[in-house]
Structure 1
Amino acid sequence: MKEKMKKYFFPIFLTVLLFIVLGFEIYLLRLPPEQIPTRFIIVSLFVINIISIITLGFFVIRSIFRLYLEKHREVPGYRFRIKIVTIFVGLVLIPSALLFIAFSGVLESSIERIFSKSNREVISKTIDTVKSFYDFEKARLLKFAEDFNEGKIKGLPDGISVERLKNPQEDMPESIRDAFQGKKSTQVISSSDGDVIIAALPEKQGVIVLKMSIPSYVTKKVEEVKAYHEEYLKMGSFRKAVKSNYFMFLGFLSLIIIFLALWASLKISQEITNPLKELVQATQRVAEGDLKVKILTKSSDEIGILVNSFNEMISKLDKAYIELSERHILLERIFSNITSGIIFVGNSGKILKINKAGEEILQISADKLQGRHYSEILEFVESDELKEFIKKLSQERIYEISKDLNIKIKGRNKMIKARIVSLREFEESEATGILVVFDDITDIVKAQQAVAWEEVARRLAHEIKNPLTPIKLATERLVKKWKNKDEEFDKVFEKSTQRIISEVESLKNLIDAFQKLGKLPEIKKEPVNPVDLIQDVIELYRGYKDVKINFISDGEIKPVLLDYHEFKRVLINIIDNAIKAMNAKGEITISVKLNNSLQIEIADTGPGVDDEIKEKLFLPYFSKTKEGTGLGLTIARKIITEHDGRIFVMDNKPSGTIFKIEVPA
């Protein structure tokens, strides 16, 4: 603040001095010329005005020259400064010029009107009238003196006194002296009490003198008229000088206003553009990467707020840049040290980045891949599967794909597991790139193959047990009917033997499928009535006296595409587990409903399943009993999944468990 005061003190002081001098000059012009040495003082004041204007002009010209240099050097902000200066000067120059022309015309006409011929005649006639009045009174008084001396009148009017003088005196008025010399004479004598008219007439024995006093108010008016007349004559002699002086005053005032506006506009524009100039220079440095820049200009106005906001923004940007750099370094370390291979593909299809693990898996250096299109990876890797996979990528809109691929690199076969994810801000927005994560699972596949036969054997044993259960139940029922000599033995015998034959055939198909494929039979869907399927399963458990199986059908149930045998195997697995959980005593309720999907619920009244065990039930080899293989529910979930459905566990109220199956209808 103090620096600004020092900077602007002299120009402001100079401007104030100019106005004081001009005001004093106006005051002098209004005084009577005889009271002061007017010409000398006015000339002196003009000299001071000229020096002040020259000094102010120097500051203005210096500022304009600096502005010219800024334009020549293209200093940021010079265009804005030129605009402000042009607008300020234009707004001041035009009105000042118009006012100068208007006041000059008014001044010219006013001075000419004051010293016009008619005014001069009026003033001259006024003086002539005053003279005529005094001449008339002197002639009248002289006539009174003659008539009084000749005896024509005996008394004189009021206000006229008479005096006879026999001898002359030293201090007597000139008119009386002329009368002693034999001349009749009149005279006007002025005093503080007013004017006195004297008429002196010679006679034989001396001189007769008549005096008449003029009232003081008349005398005062006469003196004022004389003074006005003398001042008017003197002003008339200075008419051109006065006119020139006023014109110069208006010119000086206009120049002062214009120079002051020019200087003010330069300073105001400088105050505005200096922070903006620093701001532009700072932004250029930021664009070049310098985030340590800071603007030191301080101001309490909006420019100051802008500068403070810029400094705060750059400070936050610097912190964010440092954090981003640290994160980038961290990500680079993670990217380099992660054991999975990672390839980042840009939206143009070019490979932008590959980590060390990716180089090792593909046995290709990053320099050979980065910057090339992802399809060119086939130059280094032999694989028909990969070729088809890349072709699919180029034709489809990718979101997320996982695939196992057999590839051949430098004569060596490998199995890799690849997961491809498109990077999008929103699901419907365009992808900004593709992230490919892949692992070499060759050794894992070999290890899995080593234990595959063991798993197949265990699964085969488990799956063989499922058909044996209904065979055993049918045989026991048949023996029981035969021992009891039941009348329905023949009917039961036929039905049981058909069931045994059917299950044996199913078992044979299962063994054949395992022998051929080494895996569970392929799902073959055909229209199946779920009610008939469930009734067939329920029929297998009629021999359990202490187990009550209820069936509930909600509405009309139409045929659904299912694999009859595999779906039947799922239901048998679940019911077997339910009977074991209830220790062969309890109630099982099977309900079926069909809307958009087929929904089957199998609820038992056993002890239930703890929450932490529910998800483990479907894991391979997890079993709650020592006798179980832990594959039953795993196979059940796999069969349901291959039907594009799902299976999950819920609690039954007040006790027990519910297995719910949902498959598309």
Structure 2
Amino acid sequence: MLPRSQEEAKRRRRERVIILILVAVVAVLTYIETKVVRFGAGLPVSNTIITFILINLNMLLLLLLIFLVLRNIVKLLYDRKRKVMGAKLRTKLVVVFACLSLIPTVLLFLFSSQFITSSMAFWFNIPVEQSLEKSLEVGRQVYRHVGENNRFFLERVAYQISRRKLLADKNRDALKHYIQVVQGAFNLQAIEVYSRSSQRLAVALDADLEGTPLEPVSADSIHKELQLGRFLTLTGFLPSGEMVRTLGRIPINAGPDKALGIVAVTTVIPETLSENMATILRGFDQYRQMKVFKRPIQVSHLITLSIVALLIMFCATWFGFYVSKTLTVPIQELAKGTRRVAGGDLDFAIEMVSDDEMGTLVDSFNKMTRDLRLGKQQLESSTQELKERNLEIEQRRLYMETVLQNVSAGVISLDARGFHTTINKSAEKMLGFKAKQFLNRHYKSVLGPEYLALANDILEELENGPGNWVQRNVKITIDQTARTFMVHVTALKDENDRFMGTVVVFDDLTEIEKAQRMAAWREVARRIAHEVKNPLTPIKLSAQRLRLKYGEQIQGDRSVFTECTQTIIDQVDQLKNLVNEFSSFARLPSVNREPCHLQAIVGEAVALYREAHLDILFKIEEGSEIPQLNLDP
């Protein structure tokens, strides 16, 4: 067996379907009743019987609808007596919907019934009928006037054609010319001339009908219908309006056997006038038909209005029941759930019954219970996680401060407004001040005029430059000592490219520059010493050669010669030692290249060693073709 709640829901759905079907059937039958007078005359039964059947069928269906509504009212009163939760709210909603529909429906019914009565009296009064008859008579007079006008001109044209004998074959051109002149002179739309055998001999058309196909009059119309009288009037339709064509014999009073030909005069009634006349005629015919059904129509409209009024009232009442149920059932469940949650049952959930605002409210309640259920666990885990994160952030902050304070480079940071926010120990040591003197102060208030211009220049270059950083070598005087700093200024920006501040990182290059200068001087001195040392060796060798070659040949003052040569040799050795010590304080002369013979340079160098070392045989082998070279001799 199905649970009681499911059976109740199934019964309610079945009841809603029945009510909707009844409302639809009653509406369709009511619509048919409003149209029964219009098409009832063609049915095999009379309008009275059809109306009676439809009204009774509507009443039966309406009684069934009333029964279903009253049944719900009784059940609502019973629930209210038992003090079922939501019964009072449902009662208020039903009463509100019933009153909202009753008051305007009654007023609308009264005004509509009065309007129907007055409208029927207005539609079928004598002045209206007389106006329609007069309008129709005016239209008939227009057609009579056109016919009389055509006959007037037809008589004169027929007389002239007969008198001038224009129907003869030799006068055919004159006939065409004549009818064209008459058509243009009297502003007729068309004049046609036919022979006795009904063959059209000539036609003259108005300029407005040029290009419009004007069919000839049929032979039957000429020979049969025209025999009944002197004139024959035919009507037809052209693109520009309604055509009135009048035919007569030539001569006009001739009998059918004595007639020489036929003349047709055509006048075109404008399209708007023709349509208006047709509309008046149709309206008058409909008026006479409707006048017969005046009383049945009035009764039918009043009955239909009554059925619609009752249908609106009971539909509004039933709709109030439906809306009240959709509101009170979720409210009952919400009240029950609120008590359960207040008692600590966080696993309670309400079943979704709709996807409207009440469904959203139920879904929000279920979400609230889920959130409350997870809240305690998440609160504890979040608290623990928050402690761990705070500890991690604090450790990271301390680590960054330690790194910043112990880095060798000086670091100064400014916020977006230009106030100092960070100054590390290296910056204090290099610049010779305490950080507390500058923190939270604007850089313009602490820099002197000579340094403020430099700072503004660097910041302006940083703002207008292509990159986010600027690097410069800056020379300043600190404690009467010239110092050189490598300054690197970087703009801080967030992920949205918004300016957050400036970081200044600088290094003291003073000692590095001193070391670079010392290294340069050492290199220069080494090169100078090398150049000085080169001629000392030949000098020493030459002195030794003189002593060896001429020491035995000098007889007098030999000791002086020996002493002089020895002095030269000793001084050369001392100069070598001095050059070695001074190798870092000399300068290499610039190279002066010029075309030289390599053989001569080699010969001069070998000659020095040949005299110093007589026991060695020095031999120079020269090539046949050695070009001149750019050398420094």
Bucket of the pairwise TM-score, normalised by the shorter protein: 0.3 to 0.5
Structure with greater proportional helix content: 2
Higher relative contact order (CA closer than 8 Å, sequence separation 6+): 2
Q: TM-score, normalised by structure 1?
A: 0.35
